[in-house]
Amino acid sequence: MDIIDIRLGTGLDHWSCKLSGDGSYSVSCLRKIVDVSQVYIPETSVILWCKVVPIKVTCFIWRAVQARIPTTVALDKRGIAVNSLLCCSCIGAVECSEHVLMNCPFATMIRNNILGWCGLSHVQDSLKNSYDLLQLAGTRWNFKKKKERLVAICYGLLWNLWRFKNKRLFQMEGTSPSYGIDCIKSMVFYWLKHRNKNSICNWEEWLISPFSDL
């Protein structure tokens, strides 16, 4: 269109978003457009954008469930030279995203302890991958506050497993399972304490059960 063909109307200028019916912009409208314009990945449907969880953690979970985090297998596929494809924790399998976050013995030990703490020991054997874990977090309970808390715990679990792996790889500093479990519990407690408008149980009650006040 040439500028000579533009005709100005009367009244005040205003912006109108064509993505929504009422002309107002929202992130959810934009996300729907992005989702329908790309190849649908079922695993992304289990991602819950919880305000209690820092956005960088949620973005990591969103990437991890699509196997798009920089593991040695992913880096090798991109042509980046790596010293070894083996997991730096167990040296028993290649380091893909599902191994680091779910199948490594180190990750399995911590995950089972956290699930036991949440009263979910009976579902440990049914979790085969990160999709199953996130599906559990998003559908386990209908009670909103309890579901939000379980989502925060599962996200904190996966995020810290990734942090422990990087700490071991780049800082040559190992993390014991007991210390790792304590880190996850304290980090999620901090999120709920300072990023949530609702009250939460005290630290002693939290260590006994994360749902003791619900």
For Cα atoms 100, 178, 161, give the angle at the middle one, nearest 5 degrees. 20
Based on the fold, state whether residues 85 and 40 are members of the same structural domain: no
Tell me the Ramachandran region of residue 67: left when phi exceeds 0, alpha when psi lies from -120 to 50, beta otherwise: left
Q: How many domains does the chain have?
A: 2
Count Cβ atoms below 10 Å from residue 158 Cβ, excluding itself: 25
Based on the fold, state whether residues 183 and 105 are members of the same structural domain: yes
Query: 46, 61, 86: which is the final residue of a domain?
Result: 46
Based on the fold, state whether residues 119 and 186 are members of the same structural domain: yes
Return the SS3 of 140: coil
- How confident is the model at residue 118, as a pLDDT? 95
Tokens 């559990």, residue located: 136
Residue 121 DSSP one-character state: G
Based on the fold, state whether residues 106 and 183 are members of the same structural domain: yes
**Phi, psi angle pair for 211, to nearest 5°:** -115, 20
Count Cβ atoms below 10 Å from residue 175 Cβ, excluding itself: 19
Query: 46, 68, 86: which is the final residue of a domain?
Result: 46
Based on the fold, state whether residues 148 and 201 are members of the same structural domain: yes
Strand partners, 86: 94
Based on the fold, state whether residues 124 and 102 are members of the same structural domain: yes
How far is residue 9 from each of residues 6, 47, 166, measured CA to CA in Å? 10, 45, 59
CB 165, CB 186: distance < 8 Å: no
**Of the candidates 51, 67, 43, the residue with the CA atom closest to the CA atom of residue 152:** 51
138: in domain: yes
214 residues of the chain, pLDDT tens digit each: 566 776 777 777 767 787 777 878 888 777 777 666 654 455 555 688 888 999 999 999 999 988 899 999 999 999 999 989 999 989 889 999 999 999 999 999 999 999 999 999 999 888 888 889 998 888 888 888 899 999 999 999 999 999 999 999 899 999 999 999 999 999 999 999 998 887 888 999 999 999 998 8
**Phi, psi angle pair for 86, to nearest 5°:** -75, 150
Domain that holds residue 196: 50-208
- How confident is the model at residue 208, as a pLDDT? 95
Based on the fold, state whether residues 35 and 63 are members of the same structural domain: no
- How confident is the model at residue 40, as a pLDDT? 47
What pTM did the predictor assign?
0.79
**Of the candidates 97, 99, 47, 43, the residue with the CA atom closest to the CA atom of residue 74:** 97
Give the tokens for residue 36. 């329908």
CB 195, CB 188: distance < 8 Å: no
Q: Residues with Cβ < 8 Å from 163, sequence gap 6 or more?
A: none
Based on the fold, state whether residues 68 and 132 are members of the same structural domain: yes
